[in-house]
Chains A and B, each alone.
Chain A
């Protein structure tokens, strides 16, 4: 596997509808060899559909898919040599772990099929890779969720796939196991160096594991970028609202002034189109000061402590209520009147 150059994936203008529902609405994406890309979006955003089309398990209404520069839509799922890991694992329930992993090797055409000893050696190697060789005689129903997930991965890797696709790989696992497996997946990807795409609705997972994140909504790609890019400089209002915990305020831009309700905000409005807009601030980017300082002013409603931060609900004088995360060095109390100044903010038209 290691000696091969990782392949590229490219999709052009993919459209797919289910009845009247537009699952994909003109999607273009290029994945370079060896990348680990996350498709991130809420349910119904089309991410799983995109993944299944690349795998050959679904077919687009129009558009093109290229794997390693070859037209993949001219091939069935069988010919594409794509490793696919299903959300619910889809392990063969009547086969042992060993036979599950061996499946892809056993169904190969006779001319290229390994002999029994070769298959045994390869399965052993894969089970070692996922650190579960001691489970080879068990049945899937006897495994934990995390173990099933790793076996599903080993099975997909058995055919030496050109690319690896994972559909919500950790979606059905509990939080602790999920965190462990994330780190493990990243190091595994580093080790095997196969171009990989995984689907997730969990932003933390996407930001932690992937080297590039594709944010999707309503069948369209909203932003493609590094985890830092999508977090620090969201391209659209949707991305800002979806990734990280954001405060969203409806504002009005007019003649170089940003207003929240009637109140003009002391914020730079350079280059903003006039009209109704949305102001986004990360919760922890709202700095607390004495009343009268800062762009906003409000009364603290109540405060809860979350480890290193205190989360305060603040009723702004404009009538909106927001939640901010402030450091614990200055305790806030319900009833306090405070000034708030966004350290960083972004304004999107609409």
Chain B
């Protein structure tokens, strides 16, 4: 009894101190202790700096190590120009192909039920699960001189391997899941009701697609195309196997970076690498913007 009274008295005496302690105790319940929080955040920042920021800085530092003039001279080399041009062409073709393929596949999977649907979904993921080098080797086996179609192609004087068509094929194969993957969940979530409404209002299949389906998934399409493009321009393994590394002809930017580096032409190697790094940065920014649009689209659909 007396003890209790004494407790109450001391509490009221050091009221503010007790309150501060209580607040600290509450904070400890709600979140981790301060020291742990600081340690975790420091670790994360340190890791990101060493593994992400530092390499990016090094790329640009090396590229500009002999000045801006050397940088642009390296980029203006015919070999570099050819690589940039080839990369753009290959990316344009394979992104275009995968856009069509991805749209068709996602449309079929999200809006219709058919036997073998699960198998098709698994198949779409195949390029993600196979090493790019294997993907490249497959095309060598198919179209190489000793390959299945090799002699037929030679007879008809068609060059696929060690030429642009081979690089396009390998790139398309490696990047084909991107658009489909971005669209399938989106289209599945949206369901088929708006399409049904359009049909009952008299729209044809094409009208329904272009007026209803496509506008609803446009941000998803852009998102898929963006990631597809980033990978298409940056792909090394599969392209390396099928390209043949013919200088000025079948070297894409990533391949040229490796060659130049191996020849100790550091400024030239990093100049081209800096272009790829910039592509990555632009892709990241665009991705963030698109993700915001995708979220908004989802909110709007939330009835």
Q: Footprint of B on A, CB under 8 Å?
A: 55-57, 76-78, 80-84, 86, 88-95, 103-104, 106-108, 139-141, 145, 148, 155-156, 158-159, 172
Which segment of B117-125, B159-167, B208-216 sits at the interface? B208-216
Q: How far is the CA of A103 from the CA of B215 in the complex (A)?
A: 14
Interface residues in B166-203 by Cβ distance below 8 A to A read 193-194, 196-203
Residue of A nearest to B303 (CB): A88
Which residues of A lie under 8 Å from residue B300 when comparing CB positions?
93, 139-141
Which residues of B lie under 8 Å from residue A91 when comparing CB positions?
194, 197
Question: Is residue B14 within 8 Å, beta carbon to beta carbon, of the partner chain?
Answer: no
Question: Is residue B204 within 8 Å, beta carbon to beta carbon, of the partner chain?
Answer: yes
Residue of B nearest to A165 (CB): B200
Q: Is the CB of A90 within 8 A of B197?
A: yes
Q: How far is the CA of A140 from the CA of B212 in the complex (A)?
A: 14
Chain B nearest CB from A101 CB (Å) reads 10
Chain A nearest CB from B42 CB (Å) reads 43
Which residues of B lie under 8 Å from residue A106 when comparing CB positions?
211
Q: How far is the CA of A139 from the CA of B200 in the complex (A)?
A: 21
Question: Is residue B207 within 8 Å, beta carbon to beta carbon, of the partner chain?
Answer: yes
Contact of A93 among B202, B204, B207, B216 (CB under 8 A): B216
Which residues of A lie under 8 Å from residue B299 when comparing CB positions?
141
Question: Is residue B301 within 8 Å, beta carbon to beta carbon, of the partner chain?
Answer: yes
Q: A90-B193, A94-B216 are in contact. Are A78 and B204 (CB under 8 A)?
A: yes
Give 5 new A-B contacts, CB below 8 A, not counting A90-B193, A94-B216, A156-B201.
Answer: A84-B197, A88-B303, A94-B215, A140-B300, A141-B300
Q: How far is the CA of A212 from the CA of B198 in the complex (A)?
A: 29
Q: A88-B303, A93-B300 are in contact. Are A78 and B196 (CB under 8 A)?
A: no
Contact of A92 among B202, B212, B297 (CB under 8 A): B212
Q: A103-B211, A139-B300 are in contact. Are A90 and B196 (CB under 8 A)?
A: yes
Q: A94-B215, A139-B300 are in contact. Are A159 and B197 (CB under 8 A)?
A: no
Residue of B nearest to A152 (CB): B197
Interface residues in B196-255 by Cβ distance below 8 A to A read 196-204, 207, 211-212, 215-216
Q: How far is the CA of A78 from the CA of B200 in the complex (A)?
A: 5
Q: How far is the CA of A56 from the CA of B197 in the complex (A)?
A: 11
Q: How far is the CA of A88 from the CA of B192 in the complex (A)?
A: 12
Show 21 residue pairs from A and B whose CB-CB distance is below 8 angstroms, ordered by the A residue.
A57-B196, A77-B199, A78-B203, A78-B204, A83-B200, A84-B197, A86-B193, A88-B193, A88-B303, A89-B303, A92-B197, A92-B198, A103-B198, A103-B201, A104-B201, A107-B201, A107-B202, A107-B207, A108-B202, A141-B299, A172-B303
Which residues of B lie under 8 Å from residue A139 when comparing CB positions?
300
Which residues of A lie under 8 Å from residue B196 when comparing CB positions?
57, 77, 84, 86, 90
Q: Is the CB of B216 within 8 A of A86?
A: no
Which residues of B lie under 8 Å from residue A80 when comparing CB positions?
200
Q: Is the CB of A56 within 8 A of B301?
A: no
Which residues of B lie under 8 Å from residue A82 when comparing CB positions?
200
Residue of A nearest to B190 (CB): A93
Q: Is the CB of B200 within 8 A of A107?
A: no
B contact patch SS: helix
Contact of A107 among B198, B301, B302 (CB under 8 A): B198
Which residues of A lie under 8 Å from residue B203 when comparing CB positions?
78, 103, 107
Q: Is the CB of A107 within 8 A of B216?
A: no
Which residues of A lie under 8 Å from residue B193 when comparing CB positions?
86, 88, 90
Q: A92-B212, A94-B215 are in contact. Are A77 and B200 (CB under 8 A)?
A: yes
Chain A nearest CB from B47 CB (Å) reads 41
Q: How far is the CA of A194 from the CA of B235 in the complex (A)?
A: 61
8 nearest CB pairs, A to B? A104-B201, A90-B193, A141-B300, A107-B203, A90-B197, A84-B200, A94-B215, A77-B199
Q: How far is the CA of A139 from the CA of B301 in the complex (A)?
A: 11
Chain A nearest CB from B113 CB (Å) reads 11
Q: A88-B193, A90-B194, A92-B194 are in contact. Are A55 and B200 (CB under 8 A)?
A: yes
Of listed B212, B302, B303, residue having the most chain A CB within 10 A: B303
Which residues of B lie under 8 Å from residue A94 when comparing CB positions?
215-216
Chain A nearest CB from B216 CB (Å) reads 6
Chain A nearest CB from B69 CB (Å) reads 50
Chain A nearest CB from B301 CB (Å) reads 6
Q: How far is the CA of A107 from the CA of B203 in the complex (A)?
A: 5
Q: A141-B300, A141-B301 are in contact. Are A93 and B198 (CB under 8 A)?
A: no
Which residues of B lie under 8 Å from residue A95 when comparing CB positions?
215
B46-59 Cβ-contact flags toward A at 8 Å (1 or 0): 00000000000000
Which residues of A lie under 8 Å from residue B204 when comparing CB positions?
78, 107
Q: Is the CB of A158 within 8 A of B201?
A: yes
Q: How far is the CA of A159 from the CA of B199 in the complex (A)?
A: 12
Residue of B nearest to A104 (CB): B201
Chain A nearest CB from B154 CB (Å) reads 50
Which residues of B lie under 8 Å from residue A86 when comparing CB positions?
193, 196-197
Which residues of B lie under 8 Å from residue A172 when comparing CB positions?
303
Which residues of A lie under 8 Å from residue B198 when comparing CB positions?
92, 103, 107
Q: Is the CB of A107 within 8 A of B211?
A: yes
Of listed B207, B212, B215, residue having the most chain A CB within 10 A: B212
Q: Is the CB of A155 within 8 A of B194?
A: no
Chain A nearest CB from B206 CB (Å) reads 10
Of listed B193, B204, B207, B297, residue having the most chain A CB within 10 A: B193
B283-299 Cβ-contact flags toward A at 8 Å (1 or 0): 00000000000000101
Which residues of A lie under 8 Å from residue B202 when comparing CB positions?
78, 81, 104, 107-108, 159
Q: How far is the CA of A95 from the CA of B215 in the complex (A)?
A: 9
Q: How far is the CA of A185 from the CA of B196 in the complex (A)?
A: 23
Q: How far is the CA of A140 from the CA of B197 in the complex (A)?
A: 15
Which residues of B lie under 8 Å from residue A56 when comparing CB positions?
199-200
Which residues of B lie under 8 Å from residue A57 when comparing CB positions?
196, 199-200
Which residues of A lie under 8 Å from residue B194 when comparing CB positions?
90-93
Contact of B201 among A76, A141, A155 (CB under 8 A): A155
Which residues of A lie under 8 Å from residue B199 when comparing CB positions?
56-57, 76-78
